[in-house]
Structure 1
């Protein structure tokens, strides 16, 4: 029997709505392994088309945050190298994984950009363990090398002095500096989508870079080869900044997750309601508002249409016809 008291009915509906949302969030958490399981894209740094497209990452999209192990991240360099096991691997419209990370591990809005290359230690030497935590590079590594506190040493402790570097998916192996031309020959081709002129190539170039530590170099698909790690990695790059400076190569501890499935348009609602610290909807493609309106309209009117269709099917079913005949027969008696 239905409770006729309006307050009880309202309370029941509210509990049902909260329960449905809770089940949805828990289901997404179980699927992604992260909490929160979704992020809203705020900028246009990953767009492939000005008017937006499903399959690439646009402002206003919701992106699932997958709990993928750091070592399993596939970079553009690996996915575009013909002799690599990951050749041909693509996500969100281009080769390689898209990752979500905190700049330098600092608090703030995470960055969601593509993993371009991974720089790894090749030869290392043990540091001076008597050096303090705030010691400079030469104090940690009196025999040369670059101090990397996040890499284990042969002595079993964390922190080592890196002498040479390697970049999987490229010809950089056991090198003191990193130079890579993503021209389709030395490495896979990365199109900067910019006008090429003197000293500015149409493809991505990492030139004579001395990494400060190991990690992943990242780049927005729409950023015309201006990598997040700044001009020391790729000439002319502005980089992304946190309270501690330009972002360094992404370490495992800074990783929030790997971008999974895309739920287009729905994040626009959140951007509409965001405060002054958010860019709001200024980067959302105009087409997203139309599709969002269609989705909301569909959610509102679909039950009405579905009810009418079901009612029509029921009325035309043999059972309903037989029931009508029996009712008419009973009325005649």
Structure 2
């Protein structure tokens, strides 16, 4: 197998170009992984839930959760802005499911059993009290999250329970407009999801 690859490289032409391109892709991927500490180091925004600050088709560089330090929530922040609003934008597995990654803003932290209805923005909760919402009282400690373009907290709608620290893959750090469409088109994932 290795001998065939070496022979292909020595022959030049298309085989050599393909091997060089693959080497370059793996090199860049390795560098990005080394910097971010997480995999994948880049994610494509699949829906419009973070508009107007992150758009469907944007490619976002993710700093792995081991390297981000404490998550800064929208409620506890002074003048710390990330992607046009206060607080960190986190990438997490909804309800701990590795097949359902979400990229939304960390709004505030809740403790297990907490009635967080009054702490929330009245425009972003559901019903007239805690009992009328999903995940209230909080079933466990975690972050309350919301897509900047969504009308309600994720937890109030039942998208995810409060986001445990162990569910967080990292924080969004840099936005590259439009490039994520390449991945979305190849994966057949262009549309609204969360």
Relative contact order, CA 8 A, sep 6+: which one is greater? 2
Q: Secondary structure at the match of 1:76?
A: coil
Counterparts in 2 of 1:11-90, with a 5 A limit? Answer: 11-48=15-52, 56-69=53-66, 72-79=70-77, 87-90=78-81
- Correspondence 1:269 to 2:182: yes
Contact 2:107 2:146 (8 Å CA) reproduced: yes
Please name the residue that 1:218 is paired with: 145
What's the CA shift for 1:94? 0.4
Between 37-46 and 8-17, the greater mean CA deviation after superposition: 8-17
Q: Does 1:239 align with 2:158?
A: yes
Aligned to 1:111: 102
How far has the Cα of 1:255 moved from its partner? 1.1
2:3 is aligned to none
Query: What is the distance in 1 between the residues matched to 2:88 and 2:183?
Result: 25
Deviations 1:1-58 (A, max 9, x none): xxxxx9522222122111111111011111111111111110000011xxxxxxx210
Structure 2 Cα separation of the partners of residues 253 and 77 of structure 1? 21
1:3-18 paired onto structure 2 within 5 Å:
8-18=12-22
CA RMSD of superposed structures (Å): 2.3
Normalising by structure 1, we get a TM-score of 0.48
d(CA) in 1 for partners of 2:119 and 2:125? Answer: 6
Residues in 2 aligned to 1:180 and 1:11: alpha-carbon distance in whole angstroms:
60
Residue in 2 aligned with 1:229? 155
> 1:102 maps to what in 2?
93
3-state SS in 1 of match to 2:105: strand
Moved over 3 A (4+): 68-71, 203-209
What TM-score comes out, normalization by structure 2 length?
0.80
Matched residue SS, 2:21: helix
Decide whether the 8 Å contact of 1:43 with 1:59 is kept in 2: yes
Residues of 2 paired with 1:71 and 1:27: CA distance?
A: 21
1:105 & 1:72 partners in 2: Cα distance? 19
Are 1:29 and 1:37, in contact at CA under 8 Å, matched by a contact in 2? yes
| Structure of greater Rg | 1
Q: Is the 8 A contact 1:180 1:205 kept in 2?
A: no
For structure 1, list consecutive stretches of 5 or more residues without a partner in the other structure: 1-5, 49-55, 80-86, 122-145, 147-164, 166-176, 183-200, 231-237, 241-246, 284-333
Contact 2:125/2:153 (8 A) holds in 1: no
CA distance in 2, matches of 1:33, 1:274: 24
For 2:174 and 2:93, the matched residues in 1 are separated by 20
The 5-angstrom pairing of residues 281-320 of structure 1 reads 282=191
DSSP-derived class of the 2:14 partner = helix
